[in-house]
Amino acid sequence: MFKKAFGDREVADSLDGQMEEARYDDPLMMRVIGAIRDDAISPDDLARLKDEAAWEDTKREERAEVMRETLPDLCEAYGISLSPAQRAEIAALDLTGLERLRGELKRHKAWSAEPST
């Protein structure tokens, strides 16, 4: 799955010329913002950093997609029958939640009663 390099927040920031720093939580983007604030970044470096950030986002989303596809297999291997609600939870989790769920499944070999988000 390919994620766009720029989302709604980046488009909004580019249109109004003002950057809302609180909307960015990615460490790489925080470095970019800091460098821009300090005027210590060239346009070429900025383009490279944006490309790197987009690539990291893409890799995270691809990893999450792989985990969404393989967690049901792990459950099956442990004899866990997934309900539609559990399948929906897997589909809705981000990478951090998926990694947490995978860890719980491996530790307990059972589905936790608490949501993994």
Closest CA to 75 of 65, 86, 59: 86
pLDDT category, 93, cuts 50, 70, 90?
A: very high
Under DSSP, the state recorded for 79 is T
Helix axes 95-108, 43-77, angle to 10 degrees: 30
According to the model, what pLDDT value does residue 2 have?
Answer: 38
The sign of the torsion formed by the CA atoms of 75, 77, 81, 82 equals: positive
Looking at residue 80, its pLDDT comes to 94
- Contacts for 7-15: CB closer than 8 Å, 24+ residues apart: none
Q: How far is CA 98 from CA 66, 81, 89, in A?
A: 10, 18, 9
Show me where the domains of the chain are located: 8-108
DSSP category for residue 83: P
Q: Mean of the pLDDT values across residues 69-82?
A: 95
At 17, is the pLDDT very low, low, confident or very high (cuts 50, 70, 90)? low
Q: Is 9 a residue whose pLDDT tops 70?
A: no
Tokens of 64: 């999450």
Which of 10 and 89 is assigned the larger pLDDT? 89
pTM above the 0.85 mark? no
* CA 62 centroid distance within chain: 9
